[in-house]
Structure 1
Amino acid sequence: MIVSDAPRLSRIVAEVWKPALALFIWDVIVTVVYFVLPFKAPSLPLTIFGSALALFLGFRVNSAYARWWEGRSLWGLMINASRNLARGAIAFIGPEDEGPKRDLKRSIALRHIAYVNALRCQLRRLDSKDDVHRFLSREEAGEPLGRTNVANGLLDGTGARIGEAQRRGWIDSIQQTSLESVLIDIANAQGGMERIKNTPLPVQYRFLPSLFTRLFCIVLPIGLVETLGIATPLGSGLAGLMFLAVLQIGEDLADPFANTVHDLPLTAMCRTIEIDLLQAIGDSAPEPLKPEKGVLW
């Protein structure tokens, strides 16, 4: 996610130079043809076309931003629920700093750190094996890594450990229910993220705006050349670039987990959970993730 007040100039140029160049070349061709082989430009209702297209693109951007913001809200819920899980496990299981109870509290905390990192990798379509092995032994990681949904396997293991604590008499049934309700919140958040990731915008929202925007950019210089004359490449190019920029904004926001500079900083949020849970069990924790060239990953 870009966190600087303004995008870097190099990033802006990298994103706009191709469509800007294509628009400029087309506008120059139309302008040259008009002056070499004069033609009567058809009376195109460009104002009506542009207004309708702007409304269409606005609906698309709003829908894409709603997905992006829902993803951020779900990760906010994940961070809060992670803290609640660690705090509840430590408080309910007991203050012992040695023995089986301490090992169980550490296991719950480390498994959950592995869980959020596995979920991050799944949403970004990355291999989660190395991230899971950073926090769990190969024996502990073997069963969940063998599942299709690694994150869900890790969450199931956390639930099993809480059930084990209840059977041993370390927590009572009310405390188990309280911790289980936190796991339900975590599972619901994961389900919401998977829904966003696996359900793209309807094809009409993806194909038609792209088609209409490009058609508008093609006819725009034809309708403006009589009015703008030699300035057509500049005026038409800037106007067309604005519509293409709005189109691209919708593309960038539609998948908040695509691992690009425009998406949610999942790595930074996983680091926040890692710091909180490691400090909760008394372990040393890494530093918060810092932006790189204005981008927080």
Structure 2
Amino acid sequence: MIIDRMPRVSQIVREVWKPLLILAIWDVAVTVVYYVLPFKAPSLPLTLFGSALALFLGFRSNSAYQRWWEGRVLWGSMINASRNLARAVRNFLSAPDSAELQREIILRQIAYVNALRCQLRRTNVAEEVLRVLPAADARSALARTNVANGLLDGTGRRVEQARARGWLDTIQQSQIESVLIDISNAQGGMERLKNTPLPNQYRFFPTLFTHVFCIFLPIGLVETLGYATPLGSTIAGLMFLAVLAIGDDLVDPFANTVHDVCVSAMCRTIEIDLLQAIGEPAPEPLTPVKGVLW
């Protein structure tokens, strides 16, 4: 997630430079043709076209931002649920001989959120899980298609084992299970965002209409702007192409790009809170790298 206060114009230009270059060449070509072979430029209702396109792109960008924000809200719920799990486990598993199980559940939750992060970003899951858990504890979960869900299932089984040993009563088990359900529901919402793209109409038509508008733009401006047509038309086209790119950037909040929700930082927050809850040393929070918090 980019956290610089000033917008990164250079970043936007890097993302749209190819269509922008083509647009600039087209603008120059239209201007040259207008002066070499004088023609009467058609009176195009560019204001009407531009207004309609702006509304279309604005609606698309809002839809993309809603997906991005929902991803952030779901990860906020995951942070809260992880803290609730740690507090419940620490308080309920208070018997001296249950300390190791308490620690194991905490570590499994840390491994779980990191595994979920890697699944959403399509990166190496096993490496992050084995960083936290011994290979023997992680083996069964790593054999699952959904590693994060396998870790969560294992946590549920360990809670049941604690109840069977008399370390938890049924009410305490039910309270912990309700927290696990909250965690599972948050995961389901994240997977829905990841696996359900915007409908094709939201992606195809805005792209088509923006490019068509940029083609007509210098034709409608050349009589008014004259030699300044390439500059004016290219700048106007940049604005529409930038809005189009913003929608593409935000539509997947877990795409492992600079525009992502900062899930790595939130996983580190969970790791710090949970380790400190059981009195173990914790790593430092993640800090931005070149204005980007991952």
Interval containing the TM-score (normalised by the shorter chain): over 0.9
Q: How many corresponding residue pairs?
A: 294
Counterpart-to-counterpart distance in 2, 1:77 and 1:190: 10
Give the aligned partner of residue 61 of structure 1: 61
* Contact persistence 2:71–2:190 (CA under 8 A): yes
Instruction: State the one-letter code of the partner of 1:11.
Output: Q
* Contact persistence 2:12–2:242 (CA under 8 A): no
- Where in structure 2 are the equivalents of 1:36-185 lying within 5 Å? 36-94=36-94, 96=96, 99=97, 101-185=98-182
Instruction: State the one-letter code of the partner of 1:135.
Output: V
Indicate how the Cα distance of structure 1 residues 12 and 250 shifts in structure 2: closer, same or farther if over 3 A, else same: closer
Shift of 1:46: 0.9
Counterpart-to-counterpart distance in 2, 1:207 and 1:9: 25
Counterpart-to-counterpart distance in 2, 1:6 and 1:90: 43
Counterpart-to-counterpart distance in 1, 2:40 and 2:100: 83
The one-character-per-residue Cα deviations of 1:121-168 (angstroms, maximum 9, x if unpaired) are 000011200100011111111101001000000000001111111111
1:278 to 275, 281, 290: 275
* Contact persistence 2:265–2:285 (CA under 8 A): yes
Aligned with 1:88: secondary structure?
helix
Shift of 1:281: 1.2
Matched, 1:4 2:4: yes
Counterpart-to-counterpart distance in 2, 1:38 and 1:193: 57
Shift of 1:21: 2.3
The one-character-per-residue Cα deviations of 1:74-109 (angstroms, maximum 9, x if unpaired) are 00000000000000000001063xx4x111011000
Counterpart-to-counterpart distance in 1, 2:3 and 2:48: 36
The one-character-per-residue Cα deviations of 1:226-280 (angstroms, maximum 9, x if unpaired) are 1110010111111111000110110000000001001101110000000001111
* Contact persistence 2:44–2:220 (CA under 8 A): yes
Counterpart-to-counterpart distance in 2, 1:91 and 1:160: 19
1:241 to 238, 243, 257: 238
* Contact persistence 1:19–1:241 (CA under 8 A): no
Counterpart-to-counterpart distance in 1, 2:10 and 2:101: 50
Counterpart-to-counterpart distance in 2, 1:9 and 1:81: 38
| Structure 1 length-normalised TM | 0.97
Shift of 1:202: 0.3
Deviates more, 1:13-22 or 1:81-90: 13-22
Instruction: State the one-letter code of the partner of 2:220.
Output: G
Counterpart-to-counterpart distance in 2, 1:11 and 1:57: 20
Counterpart-to-counterpart distance in 2, 1:238 and 1:11: 16
Cα RMSD of the aligned pairs, angstroms, is: 1.1
Shift of 1:41: 0.9
Instruction: State the one-letter code of the partner of 2:54.
Output: A
The one-character-per-residue Cα deviations of 1:23-44 (angstroms, maximum 9, x if unpaired) are 2111111100110011111121
Shift of 1:18: 3.0
Deviates more, 1:165-174 or 1:4-13: 4-13
The one-character-per-residue Cα deviations of 1:28-71 (angstroms, maximum 9, x if unpaired) are 11100110011111121111111111111011001000000000
Counterpart-to-counterpart distance in 1, 2:86 and 2:51: 53
* Contact persistence 2:110–2:270 (CA under 8 A): yes
Shift of 1:19: 3.4
Instruction: State the one-letter code of the partner of 1:38.
Output: P
Indicate how the Cα distance of structure 1 residues 10 and 41 shifts in structure 2: closer, same or farther if over 3 A, else same: closer
Give the aligned partner of residue 20 of structure 2: 20
Counterpart-to-counterpart distance in 2, 1:240 and 1:13: 12
| Structure 2 length-normalised TM | 0.97
Gaps (5+ residues) in structure 1? none
Counterpart-to-counterpart distance in 1, 2:32 and 2:10: 31
Instruction: State the one-letter code of the partner of 1:242.
Output: M
Shift of 1:176: 0.4
